[in-house]
Amino acid sequence: MRLHKIMAALLLPLAFLASAGAQELPPPVDEALRRAEIPNYAVGAYVQEVGGGQVLTGTNWNAPFNPASVMKLLTTNAALDLLGPTFTWKTQAYADGPLRGDVLQGDLVIKGSGDPKLVMESLWLFLRQLRARGIREIRGSLVLDRSAFEEAVYDPAQFDSDPIKPYNAGPDALLLNYKSIGLRFLPDEAALKVNVLVDPPLAGYRVAPPKFALGDCTDWRNRLRLGLDTPGQIRFDGAYAGACGDRTWYIHPFQMTHVQYFDAVFRHVWGSLGGTLTGPTRNGAVPPAARLVAEWESAPLADIIRDINKFSNNVMARQLLLTLANQQLKLPATPERGAAVIDTWLARKGIQAPELVVRNGSGLSREERISALTLGRLLVAAFQAPTMPEFISSMPLAGLDGTMRQRLNGHSVAGRAHIKTGTLNEVRAIAGYVLAASGRRYAVAFLVNHANAPRAQEAQDAMLQWVYEQG
C-alpha cells in the first residue's frame, strides 16, 4: 500500500474531526452510545436519502474508521460495476498429449481463473466431463496453472494467530472448496471409540481419531487437541465425549499448500469416477499445443456477491478483489493491484476518498480504513446504477436472513433494511439501505472503533429504527 494512504489513515482522524463538525445524533442513538460508554469521537455516521438530498444525520463522517466486513460493500459494488452481474469464472482442463483409447499419454493441465465458489459438487461435475470425453487414465502429471493470481507468501496466522479458522484461508487462482475441511465426529458408545469422517475426503491422508471419553460434553474442540504438524496426517491427541453426539468441526488445514489440497481432493474424486492418475501434481502453465477438453463455468457474479455479503465470506471477498485486478489490468493479480483498480474506479465515479486503505477487500484486516462519508456516497451512487437490484439484494435483510437475521426482530424496521454488518475486536459497523415509513429510501453508514464497540449494537439498531420512523 502506498505511503501516502498509510499516512492518511494516521493523520486524517485529527484533521477531519475538526472540519466535519461532530453533529448531534438522534436522541435514541446518542442515549444508547452513552449507555455503552462509547464517546462521540469513536463513531462515524452518515445518513442520506438515496436521491442525493440533504444529509439526515451523521457525525465525524470524514474520519477514517476500520470498517471490518462492511468493506465488502466496496469490493462487491466495484465488481458489479466493472465486471457486470453476469460475469463468470472459468476453470479449464487441457490435454497435453495424445489420447490413445481411454489413456491420456501426457499431462492433464487445469487452469484456474479465481472462481470463489469452486466447491466439491462443481469439481465432480467438471471431472465427469473429462470421463465423458473418454479419458480414464492420465499417464502423466496433473499440472495446475494458477498464474491468474501472483504467487505470494501468505501467513494464515498473521491476522489473529489462529490459522486453523476457515476464514484465514488464503486466496488462490485454483481455490477449491474454500480450502477447508469438515471433521465429523461419530462416537460409538458400544465400542467405546470415535469415528472421524473427513469432508471432502483427502486421498492419501490418514486420520488418527481421538480417544472415547465418558462424562459431559464441555469445551469439546479444545479437548480434542487437534494436531496438524505431521505431513499427511490429521491427529487428535485428546478425547471426545460420547455425550457430544454427532458434531462437525470446520477447519482450515493450514499445513497444506493449495497445490497439496487440490491434489488430495482431485485424486479422491477422480478415483471415485473410475479414473487413475499415475504422475505427481505440480505447478505449471498451459502449453501452447495443449487442447481444451473440459470447462467449468461458475455461477454469475450476482449470485456470488450474495454469498459474500449475506454471510460475510472473507475468502470469497479476497478472491473477488484479485479477480478485479486480473480482469482489469490483465496481469497476475495482487491485493495492491486490486486496490489500485478500486482507486481508479472511485475516481471515475467522482468519489474522493483520500482516507481509503484497502488491504484485501474483505475487511479481515487491522489496517483497512474507510469513512462513513465514502460509504454513504458509494451507496447513493450504487442506488442510481443499473446493477442496483443485484447489489441491494445481496445484503442481509434485517430480522430475516444472513448476518442480520437475529437483529431487530419485532421492530417495524425489520424486513425494510438491507444491511451489511462488520465485526472485529473493537470494531462494530453497519452500512446499507433503509426503506422508511415515508416511502423514501436512505443510505446509512455507522462505524464504531472503540474498546466498547461490542456494546454498540443497541445504538446501531436504534439508528436503523429511527431512520425508518423519521426519514
Q: Each residue of 312-362: pLDDT tens digit?
A: 999 999 999 999 999 999 999 999 999 999 999 999 999 999 999 999 999
pLDDT of residue 152: 92
pTM, two decimals, is 0.93
pLDDT of residue 20: 42
The 3-class secondary structure across the chain, one letter per residue, is CCHHHHHHHHHHHHHHHHHHCCCCCCHHHHHHHHHCCCCHHHEEEEEEECCCCCEEEEECCCCEECCHHHHHHHHHHHHHHHHCCCCCCEEEEEEECCEECCEECCEEEEECCCCCCCCHHHHHHHHHHHHHCCCCEECCCEEEECCCECCCCCCCCCCCCCCCCHHHCCCCCCCCHHHCEEEEEEEECCCCEEEEEEECCCCCCEEECCEEECCCCCCHHHHHCEECCCCCEEEECCEEEHHHCCEEEEECCCCCCHHHHHHHHHHHHHHHCCCEECCCEEECCCCCCCEEEEEEECCCHHHHHHHHHHCCCHHHHHHHHHHHHHHHHCCCECHHHHHHHHHHHHHHCCCCCCCCECCCCCCCCCCCEEEHHHHHHHHHHHHHCCCHHHHHHCCCECCCCHHHCCCCCCCCCCCCEEEEEEEECCEEEEEEEEECCCCCEEEEEEEEECCCHHHCHHHHHHHHHHHHHHC
Q: Each residue of 76-95: pLDDT tens digit?
A: 999 999 999 999 999 999 99
Per-residue pLDDT of the chain (471 residues; tens, 9 = 90+): 343 344 344 434 433 333 343 478 999 999 999 999 999 999 999 999 999 888 999 999 999 999 999 999 999 999 999 999 999 999 999 999 999 999 999 999 999 999 999 999 999 999 999 999 999 999 999 999 999 999 999 999 999 999 999 999 999 999 999 999 999 999 999 999 999 999 999 999 999 999 999 999 999 999 999 999 887 889 999 999 999 999 999 999 999 999 999 999 999 999 999 999 999 999 999 999 999 999 999 999 999 999 999 999 999 999 999 999 999 999 999 999 999 999 999 999 999 999 999 999 999 999 999 999 999 999 999 999 999 999 999 999 999 999 999 999 999 999 999 999 999 999 999 999 999 999 999 999 999 999 999 999 999 999 999 999 998
Q: Each residue of 94-114: pLDDT tens digit?
A: 999 999 999 999 999 999 999
